[in-house]
Amino acid sequence: MLRESSTANLVSGPDSDGVMAVVDDCCDSAVPATRELRAFADAIALLDSDELPGARDALVQVAGEAAMRQAAAVCGYFAAMNRLLDATGVPVSSDYDVAGELGRKVPDHLRRTND
C-alpha cells in the first residue's frame, strides 16, 4: 500500500505527500479500498475488538474475502516482526520519534500511549 501510494503520488508531482496518503485522507493513495484497508489495519494494530468486525466486513464488501485475508496476513506478519525484535532485545520505545525526524506527524489514533 505504501509503495503504490508513494509511486502514484510521486508521478503526479515531486512535492506530493505519498506517505501521508496511506495514513490520512489528504490525497488519493491510488490503492483500491484505501479507507477500508486503513480501518482494518488500525483495528488490528490497536486491538480494537469493537471496530474490527465492522472494518473487516467493510473491507470484504469493497475488496472481497481474498483481499481481506491478504490484509490480515500482512498485519500478522508485521506483528510477528515486532515480536521478534522485542524478543531479541531490539524494542523501540514510543518516545523514539521517527516520524518527527522525517518531518511527519503520526495521527493521534495511531500513537502508542504506553510502553
Q: Show Cβ contacts of residue 95 under 8 Å, excluding neighbours closer than 6 positions.
A: none
Residue 96 maps to a domain? yes
Residue 2 confidence (pLDDT)? 46
Residue 54 maps to a domain? yes
Instruction: Tally the domains of the chain.
Output: 1
Residue 80 maps to a domain? yes
Residue 20 maps to a domain? no
Answer yes or no: is pLDDT of 105 > 90.
no
| Contact indicator for 51, 42 with CB cutoff of 8 Å | yes
Residue 27 maps to a domain? no
Residue 67 maps to a domain? yes
What is the b/e burial string over 47-77, where b = at least 16 CB atoms within 10 angstroms of the residue's CB? Answer: eeeeebeebbebbbeebeeebbeebeeebee
Please state, rounded to an integer, the average pLDDT across all residues of the chain.
75
Domain hosting residue 36, numbered range: 32-110
Residue 11 maps to a domain? no
- How many whole angstroms separate alpha carbon 72 and alpha carbon 54? 14
Residue 25 maps to a domain? no
Summarize the confidence of residues 75-101 as an average pLDDT. 74
Residue 107 confidence (pLDDT)? 63
The tens digit of pLDDT for each residue in 33-86 reads 888 998 999 899 888 899 999 999 999 999 999 999 999 999 999 888 878 877
